[in-house]
Amino acid sequence: MHVWEQVLAAFIAIGGLAFFQAPRWAWSLALVAATVSVLWNQPEGGVGFSILTQVCVFAVVIFLITLVNVTKIRRLLLTGPLFKLFRKILPPIRATELEAINAGDIWWEADLFRGRPPWKKLFSFPKPQLSVEEQLFLDNQVEVFCSLLNDWEITQQTLDLPSIAWKYLKEQGFFGLIIPKEFGGKDFSALANSTIVQKISTRSVTAAVTTMVPNSLGPAELLLAYGTEEQKHYYLPKLASGEEIPCFALTGPEAGSDASAIPDIGVVCKGKYRGKEMLGMRLTWDKRYITLAPVATVLGLAVKLYDPEGLIGDKQEIGITLCLLPTNTEGVEIGKRHFPLNQPFLNGPTRGKDVFVPLDFIIGGVPMAGKGWRMLVECLSAGRGISLPALSTACAKHCYRVCGAYAKIRKQFHTSIGRFEGVEAALAQIGGITYLLEATRLLTLTAIDQKIRPAVVTAIAKYHMTEFSRKAVNHAMDIHGGRGIMLGPNNYLGRSYESSPISITVEGANILTRNLIIFGQGILRCHPFLQQEMQALSHPDQNEGIAAFDKTILQHVRFFLSNVTRLFFHSLTAGQFCSSYALQPLQAEIKQLSRMSLALSCISDFTLLLLGGRLKRRERLSARLGDVLSYLFLASAVLKYFNDFGDKKVDLPYVRWTLQTCLFQIQKAFLGFFHNLRNPLVRFGLKCLVFPYGRPYHGPKDKLDRQLARHMMLPSQFRDRLTSNYYLGKKEKDAVAVLEYAFKAMVNLEPLLAEVEHFGKTTVEDRGNLSKSLGMEAIIPLALKEGVISKSEANEILEFEHARRRAIAVDEFSTEQLQGKKV
């Protein structure tokens, strides 16, 4: 056998063993066979190995086999020294970081991270559906509530919801959506909670936030998860009925994203509460940005609790503790209102100094003292996937409906502006984003309604959905031009544009979420071995730690070698042999997603190998790998939505647009990651491993953009389905209702309008004494006189033209009106 044949055979054998994660004994046999083949099968005429050389080689082989297969020797010479090295160089994980990492559950994102996404599993998840009771509530109570709102009056004049709306919220149980029926609540699903907030948000962001907060991270959710039975039975019925209005105070001037650094304290001591001597806490705090604080009757509060006298245990520094106290407690101060970007939902600071309260005010009682951080992050791991994604999807749906309609009725150069390629591109972005957000919202809620708290998934949803929403409203503003920037009752975009940064900021600022949480938490929770290795490295007993590390690291090495080999093969074959699913006609896209999933798994391990503990400080590198995981999840959501709800003919352009966008963004993230590695050889090698033939993904073509844009400018069942649970308005003064009427009228009258416009053009050319163009009001009498249209048709066109002019009109005010004076 020639040397090159031996090398090729060895390469194939090693690749096969790695590809299929062969056990150690198979590797050992292969090593023996390869050694025998090399030593005893020399080519004719070649120089053979001496006996001494053969003995030495066999000795080395036997040593390697013994090192790998004999546990005590392996731990002594290999994994034991590695354990000590890693323990020394890896940075310690703080308790709060560990609690955040361990919060919540892993779900579909773990399958994506591990490089073998089982697509059949994705499509087997339950199809999200509202119950009959939930749908009736949306169709009736939510519809009525929206009709009580006038967003211009709320945001410009009263700076609050009207009293009738507050009363309706309380009477109809809007504040008890998540509270079980045994406590007087609705006990609605996460899907219903999200959809209710979404529909209200299409009418008024202020009203949506007011509804959202009591049903989000706050007293009700914390009580349900951790409260004592006494606390639940006392507070939950009152919260459900609106008798008590809750807020939750976490953020302060010195603690924002790093909530674990709160300076607010509680000291266990004896004191008087309402005239009675008792054991309690003396609380001091300074909080800000607290939604509903100005009207709250119940204040949830996070403080660091201390017990210097050992009154409740042997620990002096107990840790973050969550309390619940009435706002009328002596010493509780509710400050003046904040005014977040012209959104007058009630928000403000709260303070207190040496406020004494009983220990019973700790949520969950004394046993839960010091466990507040875990309580918060566990609740946030689910709640983060409900409220802000609902607001973001509502914003995108709003942009989809109004921009498609406006681009149709608004004409320049005698052509609907949606026909111009620049506007087409913006429309396509809005259309694709809306499809992507609705799909992501529903898949995320599917997990939450299965009682899963997918911390990484909800972080992905929060970050990307709020960012995509901001992009959608920016494109909508571009399409509307001056119509979008002139505030007034007729402006249906301005407040959405103003409010978009609010969602970016809250529940974990987006910079923090992208750069630290998604990949940082994702790799530790989703990697099949890393968390076990970290636990082994931090084990207080070194011998037991080495034993656990030894077992896990060997599995990790097999997993890593298999991924490298598989990625090499699938990259060379352009993903043609990757796993897919019989979802016609998207197998090609699914194969590429499988390939990128494998690439993420492989590159993540390379990153750990190259950077180790430094990865924690290389935030921009980890953020790019987080983007890869995120877009894999977003693409999965689109596939799931298409499988559950899609019409293969109508939905396909949107599905292809979103999948192509996701693959392009994955490629962009990988290339940005490779480009910023410091070692040029590593940079080149990893780039070739993932993209050996250059850049395979290019994003949607202009032709596909045009399909989406043209489709958005037509009424359809798809349009109604994608923007379902959207409040259109029914009053003549509702700007969106006027726009919708003009849009549908134009589509219905389009052939007739074209005929009248052609007549008008001919009339202008035939009559030199007329101006170069005639308005529709001038053309219609001439067309009626000439018999081009009937009287009823003339009336229809005039009615449409009146609505069209109202739909494109902007508001104007006197100086006195702008100053808030009655005129």
Residues identified as active-site: 507
The stretch 72-90 carries a mean pLDDT of 85
Q: Over the stretch 595-641, which tens digit does the pLDDT of each residue have?
A: 999 999 999 999 888 887 677 678 899 999 999 999 999 999 999 99
Q: Which residue has the tokens 């290339």?
A: 671
pLDDT confidence of residue 33: 79
- Give the pLDDT of residue 99: 67
- Please provide the size of the chain in residues: 823
User: Can you list the alpha helix ranges (DSSP code H) found in 646-701?
Assistant: 652-675, 680-690
**Cα Rg of the chain (Å, integer):** 32
Q: pLDDT at residue 31 above 80?
A: no
Nearby residues of 535 by Cβ (< 8 Å), 6 or more positions away: 548
User: What's residue 7's pLDDT?
Assistant: 64
Is there a domain that residue 314 lies in? yes
Count of C-beta atoms within a 10 Å radius of residue 582: 10
Q: Which pLDDT value is given to residue 29?
A: 83
Question: Does position 350 have pLDDT exceeding 70, yes or no?
Answer: yes
Query: Which residues are registered as beta bridge partners of 351?
Result: 286, 333
**Rounded to whole angstroms, how far apart are CA atoms 706 and 717?**
19
Give me the DSSP letters along 81-105: HHHHHHHHHSPPPPHHHHHHHHSSB
pLDDT reading at 89 higher than 80: no
Global confidence as pTM: 0.93
pLDDT at 45 exceeding the cut of 60: no
Confidence of residue 470 (pLDDT cuts 50, 70, 90): very high
Torsion region of 699: left, alpha or beta (phi above 0 gives left; psi -120 to 50 gives alpha) = left
Res 571 pLDDT > 60:
yes
Per-residue pLDDT band for 737 (boundaries 50, 70, 90) equals very high
- 3-state SS string for 693-762: CCCCCCCCCHHHHHHHHHHHCCCCHHHHHHCCCCCCCCCCCCHHHHHHHHHHHHHHHHHHHHHHHHHHHH
What pLDDT score was predicted for residue 522? 86
Contact 173, 185 (CB under 8 A): yes
Answer whether residue 640 is part of any domain.
no
Question: What per-residue confidence (pLDDT) applies to 653?
Answer: 96
The pLDDT confidence band at residue 584, using thresholds 50, 70 and 90, is confident
Fill in the amino acid letter for 486: M
State the average pLDDT for the chain. 90
The pairs formed by 408-415 with CB atoms below 8 angstroms and a separation of 24 or more are 408/713, 408/714, 408/743, 408/746, 408/747, 409/739, 409/742, 409/743, 409/746, 409/804, 409/807, 409/808, 410/483, 410/808, 414/757
Q: What is the spatial distance between Cα 23 and Cα 808, in angstroms, rounded to a whole number?
A: 71
Q: Which is nearest to 818 in space by CA: 96, 172, 152? A: 152
Instruction: Confirm whether 132 is domain-assigned.
Output: no
The last residue of one of the domains, among 368, 383, 398, is 383
pLDDT band at 464 (very low <50, low <70, confident <90, very high): very high
Where is the domain boundary, 69, 89, 123? Answer: 69
- Segment holding 283, helix H or strand E: strand 276-291
Local confidence band at 43 (pLDDT 50, 70, 90 cut-offs): low
What angle in degrees, to the nearest 10, is found between the helix axes of 387-409 and 702-712?
Answer: 90
Tell me what the mean pLDDT of segment 373-383 comes to: 83
Number of H helices, E strands in the chain: 36, 9
Say if CB 146 and CB 169 are below 8 A apart. no
Percentage of residues in the chain having pLDDT higher than 70: 93
Q: What pLDDT is stored for residue 48 in this prediction?
A: 62
pLDDT number for residue 816? 86
The domain that contains 244 carries what CATH number? 2.40.110.10
Of the chain, the end-to-end C-alpha distance in Å amounts to 101
In a domain, 402, yes or no: no
Mean pLDDT across 528-557: 88
Q: Amino acid identity of 366?
A: V
Range of the domain at 761: 735-808
**pLDDT for 245 beyond 70:** yes
pLDDT in tens, 473-512: 999 999 999 999 999 999 999 999 999 999 998 877 888 8
Report the pLDDT value the prediction gives residue 374, as an integer from 0 to 100: 87
Average of per-residue pLDDT across 432-442: 98
Q: How many angstroms separate the CA atoms of 685 and 127, rounded? A: 42
Among 342, 364, 383, residue at a domain's last position: 383
- What is the number of structural domains in the chain? 3
Across 741-750, average pLDDT: 94
Residue 48 lies in a domain: yes
Q: Is the pLDDT of residue 88 over 80?
A: no
Condensed to tens digits (0 to 9), the pLDDT of residues 290-325 reads 999 999 999 999 999 999 999 998 899 999 999 999
Q: How confident is the model at residue 436 (pLDDT cuts 50, 70, 90)?
A: very high
Domain-embedded: residue 323 = yes
* Residue the block writes with tokens 């149980």: 173
pLDDT band at 218 (very low <50, low <70, confident <90, very high): confident
- Say if 285 falls within a structural domain: yes
| Strand, coil or helix: 247 | strand
Question: Which long-range contacts (C-beta less than 8 Å, at least 24 apart) are formed by 358-361?
Answer: 358/273, 358/278, 358/279, 358/280, 358/281, 359/268, 359/279, 359/280, 359/281, 359/312, 360/230, 360/231, 361/280, 361/281, 361/323, 361/324, 361/325
Assess contact for 448 and 382: CB atoms under 8 A: yes
